[in-house]
Copies of this chain bind each other. A is one copy, B any other.
Amino acid sequence: MNILLVYAHPEPKSLNGSIKNFTVKRLEDSGHRVQVSDLYAMKWKTTIDASDSREPLDSQRFDPYLESQHAFANGLQSQDIAAEQDKLRWADTVILQFPLWWFSMPAILKGWIERVYASGFAYGVGEHSDRHWGDRYGEGTLAGKRAMLVVTAGGWESHYKPRGINGPIDDLLFPIQHGILYYPGFDVLPPFVVYQTHKVDEAGFNQLTERLGERLDTLSLTPPIAYRQQNAGDYAIPELVLRPDILPGKTGFSVHIGD
């Protein structure tokens, strides 16, 4: 397979750096082709702005949506954005690896999403009618590809349990897994999460890489999270509210996962 690893940590000698190196070696030893977007090393430009297009549609008023759409459709995107989109097209599987900072991804990775996920590429794709509300949530440019998060957290695992004070890890990751990965079409594999990163010693690292190695060896076999496709009948269109006969009375992120 072709595998893209998008990696967001400032320090090569960190636990994250070691996990990244392990991942690349394991995948290459298994015969996969691997590209790494090491965002800190690349000095990735984090903020979306007018300079992301070589020829703005409206030089007086910057609209991120309209400028992104225009630049994408007309080959006017900044070269760094186009290069990352090419990597996404090339990849069969994409891994996002990052430390959980303030219960979400680091700013540099969020900025990668915001700039690379152009209108016409990752959103604003497909027709809108009374039976189909755009190619998204299970359809889209990245459909047929797989994605997985590799996340490290400083806190204790119990703090992220279903009744833990931080909120359940699956719910904290939902805006990323469902809103960023499933949205443009990825099948999303269950995340790989490491807790209490400051306590990981050599024995802990060996256990961690054994667990992670198994996940990397089974990337093509692991069943994805069964998010519901938007346009397959489970949602009213265009309201996009779950049909009343599905999990009646239930609410929250988990209702968007089927059987």
Q: Which residues does A use to contact B, with CB under 8 Å?
A: 10-11, 13-14, 40, 46-50, 60-65, 101-108, 110-111, 113-114, 117, 137, 154, 156, 158-159, 161-168, 171-172, 174-175, 178-180, 198, 230, 235, 238-242, 250-256
Question: Which residues does chain B contribute within 8 Å of A114, judged by CB atoms?
Answer: 101-102, 106-107
Question: Which residues does chain B contribute within 8 Å of A254, judged by CB atoms?
Answer: 252
Q: Judging by beta carbons under 8 Å apart, are B164 and A102 in contact?
A: no
Q: Judging by beta carbons under 8 Å apart, are A241 and B164 in contact?
A: yes
Q: Judging by beta carbons under 8 Å apart, are A251 and B179 in contact?
A: no
Question: Can you report 8 A-B residue pairs in the complex whose CB atoms are below 8 A from each other?
Answer: A46-B111, A107-B108, A107-B110, A156-B238, A156-B239, A163-B242, A167-B253, A171-B253
5 smallest CB-CB distances across A and B, nearest first, come from A107-B111, A162-B251, A103-B179, A103-B175, A107-B110
Cα–Cα distance between A108 and B106 once the two chains are bound (Å): 10
Cα–Cα distance between A161 and B251 once the two chains are bound (Å): 9
- Quick one: closest B residue to A64, CB to CB? B10
- Given A137-B165, A240-B165, decide whether A102 and B179 contact each other with a Cβ distance below 8 A: yes
Question: Which residues does chain B contribute within 8 Å of A64, judged by CB atoms?
Answer: 10-11, 101
Q: Judging by beta carbons under 8 Å apart, are B154 and A167 in contact?
A: no
Cα–Cα distance between A48 and B39 once the two chains are bound (Å): 12
Question: Which residues does chain B contribute within 8 Å of A166, judged by CB atoms?
Answer: 179, 240
Cα–Cα distance between A62 and B17 once the two chains are bound (Å): 12
Q: Judging by beta carbons under 8 Å apart, are B108 and A47 in contact?
A: yes
Q: Judging by beta carbons under 8 Å apart, are A175 and B165 in contact?
A: no
Q: Judging by beta carbons under 8 Å apart, are B154 and A65 in contact?
A: yes
Q: Judging by beta carbons under 8 Å apart, are B108 and A61 in contact?
A: no
Q: Judging by beta carbons under 8 Å apart, are A48 and B175 in contact?
A: no
- Quick one: closest B residue to A161, CB to CB? B241
Quote the shortest CB–CB distance from A164 to chain B (angstroms). Answer: 5
Cα–Cα distance between A106 and B86 once the two chains are bound (Å): 24
- Quick one: closest B residue to A247, CB to CB? B163
- Quick one: closest B residue to A235, CB to CB? B165
Q: Judging by beta carbons under 8 Å apart, are A14 and B102 in contact?
A: no
* Candidates B13, B102, B154; contact of A113 at CB < 8 Å: B102
Question: Which residues does chain B contribute within 8 Å of A156, judged by CB atoms?
Answer: 238-240
